[in-house]
Chain A
Amino acid sequence: KQEVTQIPAALSVPEGENLVLNCSFTDSAIYNLQWFRQDPGKGLTSLLLIQSSQREQTSGRLNASLDKSSGRSTLYIAASQPGDSATYLCAVSVNTGNQFYFGTGTSLTVIP
């Protein structure tokens, strides 16, 4: 069974700092990996989607990398802002359907 782990569980940084969130998965036979953010009391918002054949994806201040062989992905956030405060979740799919295994998340607080 696929297990997804995220480290750290919580992170607090001053505004403007660059930061890295980590995600690891036990089975490298993934179809793709997505990073989401979840704001309190709300659903999830997809940030980046990396297909298994890709190494990284970028969107604005966000960059996600994928290393299938080592079972790792990182989400890099540049020049963090208070609006980035949320819980960040990574999820991997193991087939072409939409069955995703989620990590436990990293709760990020950006201090003004």
Chain B
Amino acid sequence: KAGVTQTPRYLIKTRGQQVTLSCSPISGHRSVSWYQQTPGQGLQFLFEYFSETQRNKGNFPGRFSGRQFSNSRSEMNVSTLELGDSALYLCASSFGTAKNIQYFGAGTRLSVL
């Protein structure tokens, strides 16, 4: 059974650019959540999508957005990149509710120069 796949694994961008990250969940999973991990702030919740609808949203600026497609694949977009956006971005998938185990991808390492 394939795990959660995140692409690309590494990205280098410059300030002001925008970036799109992709997450393919485990087959059958309908929930995809996104997290930002930094040494200073740890893991912080960005948003969760369930059946193509945003179900929960963390406390991040509007530059961070996402969407989910009918096959449950999800994308996260960050516009007008800032140096502070450099981080490991992780996505997690599960069947649906918090009663279910979350499975994480290996992450996308974003560096903003």
Contacts and interface: CB of A to CB of B under 8 A. Distances in A.
A binds B: yes
Contacts of B105: 43
Interface in A47-101: 49, 51, 89, 91, 93, 95-101
Interface residues of B, number: 26
A98 B33 contact: yes
B98 A93 contact: yes
B43 A102 contact: yes
Contacts of B83: none
A34 B97 CA distance: 13
A97 B94 CA distance: 10
Chain A: number of interface residues, binned into ranges: 20 to 34
A18 interface: no
Chain B binding surface, main DSSP class: strand
A43 B102 contact: no
Contacts of A51: 99
A98 B97 contact: yes
A96 to B, nearest CB: 5
A44 interface: yes
Given A51-B99, A103-B42, A104-B42, A98 B106 contact: no
B90 A98 contact: no
Nearest to B44: A102
A43 B58 contact: no
Interface of A: 31-32, 34, 36, 41-46, 49, 51, 89, 91, 93, 95-105
Interface of B: 4, 31, 33, 35, 42-45, 48, 50, 55-56, 58, 90, 92, 94, 97-99, 101-107
24 contacts: A42-B106, A42-B107, A43-B4, A43-B104, A43-B107, A44-B90, A46-B101, A46-B102, A51-B99, A93-B98, A95-B98, A96-B98, A97-B31, A97-B50, A97-B97, A98-B33, A98-B56, A98-B94, A98-B102, A100-B33, A100-B45, A102-B35, A102-B42, A104-B42
